[in-house]
């Protein structure tokens, strides 16, 4: 059975003006394949500049796909004219980072939630608006519907943003940093709400976040992005507890530790700066920051994303093909053993 959303070797490249007569190419997404099944949540994590937001926007055809393809429910929609995409726009929705900027401050909540219904010519609007507000636990729905966005808290506004995405009963929602601009107490509530909606309504979510810790609670799979590429992919328990790629290890080490007793074992955060996406390093694009860099290989040969075991993928020369499949080289094991020793 076809996946609900399939991105196949997708590239999103932009031309930016460098000087008066020259341009540079920004390789925001540089050959990513990712799929989501119905009802599945995939988290895409990475530092700012990793391309995760652009990838999410490409999955909704909101960023232009330079190469590769996007399919939804088995239909290739990479080049379909916008006028012929109304069915897709109804079935695929988005929740963005800043709830205040993504809703019109001059409309009341009733009008904000009715707008998509009008666009798609759907009736029973008041009932549907009230139901959507109940679904995101904003009640009493009748009172909330009469308010304006500035009369709500940040957490309530984000619930309105989710209600607006839900009102067309979509099968797929892009959730792009949906909790990064709201207070910590509302953050957990919103994540649990989205998890609950996924369980009850079977919606597939692509959850874009720089906060790798929240991905654990909201994902069936995690894809780690660096400089436009997926460098590791797997189920959350494996990726977060036994990271394979040096970048994933550094990203996890950079998560602040709440327990002061564990701070002694914190490892350093990701070293150095992310290179410019207009000047991507040769070979492995992480080589200029990698503590396990191997000269003559990592700076020359671009590592492929390979399956090291079922459902577990990594792009790194520390994992090599043998007759039994892909295994970690001695260097990969040495680091794992050293980490184990450190944590004792």
Residues near ligand SF4 (CB under 6 A) are: 245-246, 284, 286-287, 290, 292-294, 298, 303, 316-318
* Cβ distance to ligand SF4 smaller for residue 91 or 312: 312
Q: Give every CB contact of residue 129 below 8 A, 6+ residues apart in sequence.
A: 109, 110, 113, 114, 117, 141, 145, 167
- CA distances from residue 47 to 51, 173, 190, 228, 333 in whole angstroms, order as listed: 9, 22, 22, 11, 26
Q: Residue 48 in contact with residue 176, Cβ under 8 Å?
A: no
What is the Cα–Cα distance from 108 to 101, expressed in whole angstroms? 14
* Cβ distance to ligand SF4 smaller for residue 100 or 293: 293
For the CB of residue 302, give the shortest distance to ligand SF4 in the complex, in Å.
9
Q: Residue 33 in contact with residue 295, Cβ under 8 Å?
A: no
For the CB of residue 210, give the shortest distance to ligand SF4 in the complex, in Å.
20
* Cβ distance to ligand SF4 smaller for residue 194 or 224: 224
* Cβ distance to ligand SF4 smaller for residue 182 or 332: 332
| Bridge-based pairing state of the strands 221-226 and 22-36 | unpaired
* Cβ distance to ligand SF4 smaller for residue 174 or 231: 231
* Cβ distance to ligand SF4 smaller for residue 187 or 287: 287
φ and ψ at 215, to 5 degrees? Answer: -65, -30
């Amino acid at each position: 059975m076809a996946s609900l959303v399939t991105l196949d070797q997708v590239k999103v490249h932009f031309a930016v003006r460098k000087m008066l007569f020259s341009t540079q190419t920004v390789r925001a997404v540089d050959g990513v394949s990712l799929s989501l099944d119905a009802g599945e949540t995939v988290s895409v994590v990475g530092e700012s500049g990793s391309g995760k937001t652009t990838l999410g926007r490409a999955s909704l055809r909101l960023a232009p796909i330079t190469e590769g393809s996007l399919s939804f429910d088995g239909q290739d929609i990479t080049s379909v004219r916008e006028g012929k995409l109304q069915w897709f726009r109804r079935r695929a929705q988005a929740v963005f980072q800043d709830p205040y900027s993504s809703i019109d401050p001059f409309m009341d909540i009733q009008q904000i939630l009715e707008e998509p219904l009008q666009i798609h010519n759907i009736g029973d609007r008041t009932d549907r608006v009230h139901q959507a507000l109940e679904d995101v636990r904003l009640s009493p729905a009748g009172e909330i519907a009469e308010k304006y966005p500035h009369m709500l808290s940040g957490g309530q506004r984000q619930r309105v943003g989710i209600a607006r995405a839900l009102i067309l009963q979509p099968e797929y929602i892009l959730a792009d940093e949906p909790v990064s601009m709201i207070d910590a107490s509302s953050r957990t509530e919103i994540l649990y709400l989205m998890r609950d909606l996924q369980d009850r309504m079977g919606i597939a979510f692509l959850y874009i976040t720089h906060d790798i810790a929240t991905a654990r609670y909201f994902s069936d799979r995690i894809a780690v992005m660096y400089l436009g590429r997926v460098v590791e992919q797997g189920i959350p328990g494996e990726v977060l507890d036994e990271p394979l790629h040096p970048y994933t290890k550094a990203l996890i080490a950079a998560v602040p530790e709440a327990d002061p007793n564990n701070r002694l074992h914190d490892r350093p955060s990701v070293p150095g700066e992310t290179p410019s996406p207009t000047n991507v390093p040769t070979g492995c694009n992480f080589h200029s920051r990698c503590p396990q860099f191997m000269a003559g290989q990592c700076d020359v040969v671009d590592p492929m994303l390979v399956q090291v075991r079922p459902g577990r993928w990594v792009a790194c020369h520390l994992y090599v093909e043998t007759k039994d499949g892909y295994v970690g080289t001695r260097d990969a094991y040495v680091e794992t053993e050293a980490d184990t020793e450190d944590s004792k």
